[in-house]
Structure 1
Amino acid sequence: MLVVVIILIALFGAFVRTVFGFGEALVTMPLLALVGFKLSSATALIGALGLLVALPATIRSRAHIDFAVVRRLVLGSLIGVPIGILLLKLVPTRLILQLFGLFLISYGSYQLWQLWRGKPKKARLQAARWDYLAGLISGALGSAYNSHGVPVVIYGTLKRWPVNQLRGILQAHFVCVGVIVVSSQVAAGFWNGEVVQLLLIIIPLLAVVIPFGNWLSSRIPQATLVKYIYLLLVIFGGLLVFKSLN
């Protein structure tokens, strides 16, 4: 029964990623923790699934990808990935999750308030050098908690990227960083027989989840999708805080 629950959670995460372009780890990691799935195994499982979902999404969004930005993000992530592994091994998980969760709640709530007031902020952090810092943070959180999408989402909203461009850059970044993250997780000993067995069951089911997620995403207006993204950040922040307290 536990295996079925884990598979359903992983598929739900893949669905969220397909529809919104990010967030599968922030949905699945707290849920997997609640059912008692080992943290390192959960990290390995969701890291691999994130990479698999990103591959077809990148092909689908290739016309909207700014590859120069992706290159700078990935270079920053190369530095961030080993930092994330050290965070996972040396820093109390509860502290990192609480701080990250509170930040997401604050940022998402503030942006929703700005939209409600009808006063969206101007684009910020336009210099290309900020891409490297965003990539570094993404790599660190990705290798430690499979949360490499959220820093890029926040960065993209600060730069006011159009939704299609944000999704395209996100997916291309996921593919590049996903290879690095999964490799680092394998090297760190996070993979085991249970993770491989679960992947072999889940991968064929993605053939149903991904097309359905794409169909639903294509029917959500872009302005509405922006609001959903901010709302998801608030929800994800709450899940992280909840997870850190249990």
Structure 2
Amino acid sequence: MTGVDVVIVALLVTASFIKGALGFADALFAMPLLVLLMPVSTAAPLMAIAALWTSVIILAREWKDVDVRPAALLIASSLVGIPTGIWLLNHVDQRIVKSVLGATVIVFSVWSIRRPGSIQLKTDRLAPVFGFTAGVLSGAFSTGGPPMVIYASLRRWSPQKFRSTMQAYSLVGSGWVITAHSLAGNVTAHSLNLLLVAAPLIFIGTLVGQRLTKYLATERFIQLVYIVLLLMGAGLVASSLF
């Protein structure tokens, strides 16, 4: 392995630790750094396969915490929203949409941090709305995460339920991404070799992340989620400007 390969593996392991702790934000951390070391067409499927492996590890231990009904609603509605997102990609300036989405996420996060618990969802009635929105954004700009995370945080789920239910959606999303990139020939032998080396370390990183938040109170966990959401919103705005 070269020095660059070692750095790539380290990034994947760190991303797995973050996802093990929060249930998301692995790509938010790793992708901006991976694209500095390899082409986007190689980094995207590499990250997707690592994310899929991390989701499997999380669900293997926490599958009983998955809230099946909202997970199914979110997944089904997001799949419906993806074609709309693909249509938007060809008809709307993505910089405008990313700026509006990023600004909305920032405002929501700041409000929630300053006034925790002021907005909550008591039922799953709005799950299809959030799922459809995530599907639209995924189909258009590959930025479907924020609506899913916002929904989960508004439901005030425990860290375990938050993390495990998010993985049900992640499995489907990562699976679609990997399939698309495989058909496009973007999954290389070098990437698979790196993943083979990283796999046991990703396993350890994910377990450590899970343990980190195992005894964290729900309110403290949600506050941490809002901080990461704030970073996601800032990243969306930055990507639209530059």
Q: Do these two structures clear the TM 0.5 threshold for a shared fold by scoring above it?
A: yes
Which residue of 189, 195, 206 maps to 2:191? 195
Considering only aligned residues, what root-mean-square deviation do their CA atoms show, in Å? Answer: 2.9
| 1:233 lines up with 2:232 in the alignment | no
What residue in structure 2 maps to residue 10 of structure 1? Answer: 12
- Residue by residue over 1:112-166, the C-alpha shift from the partner in whole angstroms, topping out at 9 and shown as x without a partner, is 0112xxxx224348453x3223223334445666654432110122333344332
CA drift of 1:20 comes to: 0.8
Contact persistence 1:143–1:181 (CA under 8 A): no
Alignment of 1:59-74 (within 5 A): 59-74=60-75
Q: TM-score normalised to the size of structure 2?
A: 0.82
Q: Say whether 1:50 aligns with 2:47.
A: no
- Residues 196, 148 of structure 1: alpha-carbon distance in 2 compared, 3 angstrom cutoff: farther
- Following TM superposition, by how much is the alpha carbon of 1:72 offset from its aligned partner in structure 2, in angstroms? 1.6
Q: Paired residue for 1:173, among 146, 169, 172? A: 169
Aligned-pair identity in percent equals 26
Contact 1:25–1:146 (CA<8 Å) still a contact in 2?
A: no
Q: 1:169 to 1:200 in 2, by over 3 A?
A: same
Query: Paired residue for 1:121?
Result: 118
* 1:153 to 2:149 alignment: yes
Determine the C-alpha separation between the residues in 1 that align with 2:182 and 2:114.
41
Query: Secondary structure in 2 aligned to 1:121?
Result: coil
Letter in 1 for 2:20: T
Residue by residue over 1:31-82, the C-alpha shift from the partner in whole angstroms, topping out at 9 and shown as x without a partner, is 223x253222222111111111111212322222221221121212223445
Per mean C-alpha deviation after superposition, the further-off stretch among 65-74 and 2-11 is 2-11
Superposed, which structure 2 residues align to 1:72-151 within 5 Å? 72-82=73-83, 97-115=98-116, 120-124=117-121, 126=123, 128=125, 130-142=126-138, 147-151=143-147
Unpaired runs of 5+ residues, structure 1, are: none
In the TM superposition, residue 17 of structure 1 has moved relative to its aligned partner by 0.5
Q: Decide whether aligned partners of structure 1 residues 132 and 232 sit closer, same or farther in structure 2, where only a CA change above 3 A counts.
A: same
SS of match in other structure, 2:115 = helix
Deviation at 1:111, TM superposition (A): 0.7
